Amino acid sequence: MRTTILILFALISFNGVFAQNETKMDDNSNKLAVLWTSGDPDVAEKMVFMYTLNAKKQGWFDEVVLIIWGPSAKLSVENKMIGDYIKRMQEAGVKTEACYYCAQMYNVHEKLAEMGVDVKGMGIPLSDYLKDGWKVLSL
């Protein structure tokens, strides 16, 4: 009898863990991470930024993160229109993050930080977004 009770308790405990993981995935399904890697200003303005900004402003997603990675880091600080658009997104509630190592390769990590971008190693955060059930759009 004691063994049966312990087995039932273990099953109930594990079931709770699985239910928590399902809930975590469901809670994050309304969150969007946009991985922006292109150095093309037309791609940035006419697709990446337009969609990212409206995803937040129109409430298409509860939480929106723009990840600046690779050539987009350089474009962000060299192109005033792009920099201004990033500021508009931040003001609308879009969280902005950038890969530190990529930004350092272009020597723009300090300028991105001055723009209010969270510059950090992005391998683990991006992996966590993927594992946690966020929608990830890569451009």
Task: Tell me the C-alpha distance between 69 and 59, whole Å.
Answer: 25
DSSP 62: S
What pLDDT, on the 0 to 100 scale, is given for residue 123?
Answer: 96
What pLDDT, on the 0 to 100 scale, is given for residue 14?
Answer: 41
- For the domain spanning 29-138, the CATH number is 3.40.1260.10
Helix (H), strand (E) at residue 34: strand 31-36
Is the pTM higher than 0.85? The answer reads no
What are the structure tokens assigned to 82, written together? 């792009």
> How, if at all, do strands 31-36 and 95-99 pair?
unpaired
What pLDDT, on the 0 to 100 scale, is given for residue 132?
Answer: 96
Domain boundaries, the chain: 29-138
What pLDDT, on the 0 to 100 scale, is given for residue 27?
Answer: 81
Task: Tell me the C-alpha distance between 122 and 65, whole Å.
Answer: 12
Q: Please identify which residue in the block is written with the tokens 């977004």.
A: 129
CA atoms within 13 A on the CB side of 117: 32
What are the structure tokens assigned to 48, written together? 């990446």
pLDDT in tens, the chain (139 residues): 554 443 433 334 444 444 445 444 568 999 999 999 999 999 999 999 999 999 999 999 999 999 999 999 999 999 999 999 999 999 999 999 999 999 999 999 999 999 999 999 999 999 999 999 999 999 8
What pLDDT, on the 0 to 100 scale, is given for residue 23?
Answer: 45
